[in-house]
Amino acid sequence: QERYRDSARDLSQLVVALEGRTALPLSAVAQVVEVEGPAEIRRADGERTAALTANLEGRDLASAARDIEALMDELNLPAGFDWRLGGQQREMQSSFASMRLAIALAIFLVYLVMASQFESLLHPFVILFSVPLSVVGVLVVLAAFRVTVSVVVLIGVVMLAGIVVNNAILLVDATNRQRRKKGRPKLEALRRAGRQRLRPILMTTATTVLGLLPMAIGLGQGSELRAPMALTVIGGLLSSTALTLVVIPVVYAVLDRGE
């Protein structure tokens, strides 16, 4: 009741009903004193918590979180005490989990589309070898430009899953045409397809990279958000193009048992 909240003296007059006994004032069973205490008590999942917040300046969230985790791991907390990072760090981890699922789903859908078009389960698998080849370029670019892995970078990886397969599709499709329509042996078909599709592959890659350069350079407002995604796509596309021309024919020759 409101009248018991004004002072400790009023609170001591609060009537407490005891089991099997008559009601007594609180002062008869307890001593009410005024002491300093927290302005509020926070609880999470039924546990009492205390929140410590801070703002970052001059560094990224991921590296700061790693440093905090390293420092906290060195502390010997008493029994019953625990700690965890929250706020933007928790949201970022949740976003990473969602983006990993999106990348896997994108690769699966790309495989389904190619399997229906090629009417083969093997050739789409060969084409998908170009996806891990793009990761090489992504890692090199992120290290060279000191870009940390973020949600924007993972969005670029999702885009790469649909872009880098284009070059391998051109190469595998040209090889199949050489074998089916002209009856050439597998290795000869691979050599002719490589020479035939080299120029279109290089032109496609060049136009995509040049189109992303303004975004990667960081022109205009909001460039700090767009630049990591553009750098991710450019690095992955360049490495995938260079390695696709070498690795995909080898994988095709090894996995395809036909002559």
pLDDT in tens, 126-144: 898 888 888 899 999 989 9
Q: Tens of pLDDT along 73-91?
A: 888 888 888 888 877 777 7
Rounded to two decimals, the pTM is 0.66
User: Within 13 Å, how many C-alpha atoms sit on residue 37's CB side?
Assistant: 6
DSSP classification of residue 17: P
Helical axes 223-255 vs 130-144, angle rounded to 10°: 140
CA 148 from centre of chain: 11
- Per-domain boundaries in the chain: 2-55, 88-255
Radius of gyration of the chain (CA): 32
Closest CA to 129 of 230, 246, 233, 257: 246
Element (H, E) at 47: strand 47-49
At residue 4, does pLDDT exceed 70? no
CATH architecture under which domain 88-255 falls: Up-down Bundle (1.20)
Which pLDDT score, from 0 to 100, does residue 17 have? 76
Cα distances (angstroms) measured from residue 75 to each of 63, 71, 78, 83, 87: 19, 7, 9, 11, 21
Tally of CB atoms within 10 A around 197: 20
The structure tokens 């995509």 sit at 208
The pLDDT tens digits of the residues spanning 91-115 come to 777 777 888 888 888 889 988 988 9
Question: Tell me: the pLDDT tens digits for 173-229?
Answer: 998 888 888 888 888 989 998 899 899 899 989 999 999 888 888 776 767 778 889
